[in-house]
Amino acid sequence: MTVQIGVIGCGMMGLDHVRTLTAAVSGAGVAAVFDADEERAARAASAAGGARVHTDPVELVRDAGVDAVVVASPDQTHEEFAMACVEAGKPVLCEKPLATTSEACWRVVEAEMCGGRRLVQVGYMRRFDPAYLEMKRVFDSGEIGDALMLHSVHRNVDYPPSLPASALVTATGVHDIDIARWLLREEIVSATVHTPRPSGRVRPDFQDPQFLVLQTEGGVLIDVEIFVNAQYGYDVRGELVGERGSVSLVPPAAVSTRRAGMEGQAVAPDFRPRFQDAYRAELQAWVDACAVGETCGASAWDGYTSAAVAEACLRSLSSGRTAPVEVKPRPTLYTESAT
Ligand X SMILES: O=C1[C@@H](O)[C@H](O)[C@@H](O)[C@H](O)[C@H]1O
Which parts of this chain interact with ligand NAI (CB under 6 A)?
Answer: 8-14, 34-37, 40, 57, 72-75, 77, 95-96, 123, 125, 171, 271
Annotate each residue in 33-72 with x if it binds ligand X (CB under 6 A) or - if it does not, as one string.
Answer: ----------------------------------------
In the complex with ligand X, the residue whose CB is nearer, 40 or 96, is 96
For 203, other C-beta atoms within 10 Å of its C-beta total: 9
In terms of residues, how long is the chain? 339
The one among 18, 71, 171, 220 contacting ligand X by CB under 6 A: 171
Annotate each residue in 73-112 with x if it binds ligand X (CB under 6 A) or - if it does not, as one string.
Answer: -----------------------x----------------
Q: Which does 72 bind (CB under 5 to 8 A by kind): ligand NAI, ligand X, none?
A: ligand NAI
In the complex with ligand X, the residue whose CB is nearer, 86 or 171, is 171
d(CA 196, CA 180): 23
Whole-angstrom Cα Rg for the chain? 20
| Distance of closest approach, residue 256 Cβ to ligand NAI, in angstroms | 26
| Distance of closest approach, residue 243 Cβ to ligand X, in angstroms | 30
The one among 17, 54, 127, 175 contacting ligand X by CB under 6 A: 175
Stretch that binds ligand X, among 4-12, 105-113, 131-139, 170-178 (CB under 6 A): 170-178
Q: Which does 9 bind (CB under 5 to 8 A by kind): ligand X, ligand NAI, none?
A: ligand NAI
For 34, other C-beta atoms within 10 Å of its C-beta total: 30
**Residue 150 phi/psi, 5° resolution?**
-130, 120
Q: Which does 172 bind (CB under 5 to 8 A by kind): ligand NAI, ligand X, none?
A: ligand X
Can residue 120 be called a binding residue for ligand X (CB under 6 A)? no
H or E element, residue 249: none
User: Long-range contact list for 49-56, CB < 8 A, 24+ apart?
Assistant: 49/22, 51/7, 51/18, 54/6
Q: Which residues contact 249 (CB under 8 A, 6 or more apart)?
A: 131, 132, 135, 236, 237, 238, 239
| Distance of closest approach, residue 180 Cβ to ligand X, in angstroms | 15
Question: Within positions 199 to 238, which residues make up the interface with ligand X, using CB under 6 A?
Answer: 228
Distance of CA 258 to the CA centre of its chain: 35
Q: Which does 40 bind (CB under 5 to 8 A by kind): ligand NAI, ligand X, none?
A: ligand NAI
In the complex with ligand X, the residue whose CB is nearer, 52 or 96, is 96
**Which of the 8 DSSP states describes residue 320?**
S
d(CA 203, CA 193): 19
Beta bridge partners of 68: 5
In the complex with ligand NAI, the residue whose CB is nearer, 34 or 216, is 34
* Cα-based angle 281, 182, 289 (whole degrees, multiple of 5): 40
Residue 147 contacts residue 199 (beta carbons within 8 Å): no
In the complex with ligand X, the residue whose CB is nearer, 92 or 171, is 171
Question: What are the start-end ranges of the E strands in the chain?
Answer: 3-8, 28-34, 52-53, 68-71, 92-94, 120-122, 147-155, 188-194, 210-216, 221-227, 235-242, 246-248, 257-259, 262-264, 323-324
Stretch that binds ligand X, among 107-115, 167-175, 179-187, 304-312 (CB under 6 A): 167-175
Question: Within positions 256 to 285, which residues make up the interface with ligand X, using CB under 6 A?
Answer: 271
Q: In the complex, which residues of this chain contact ligand X (CB under 6 A)?
A: 96, 156, 171-172, 175, 228, 271
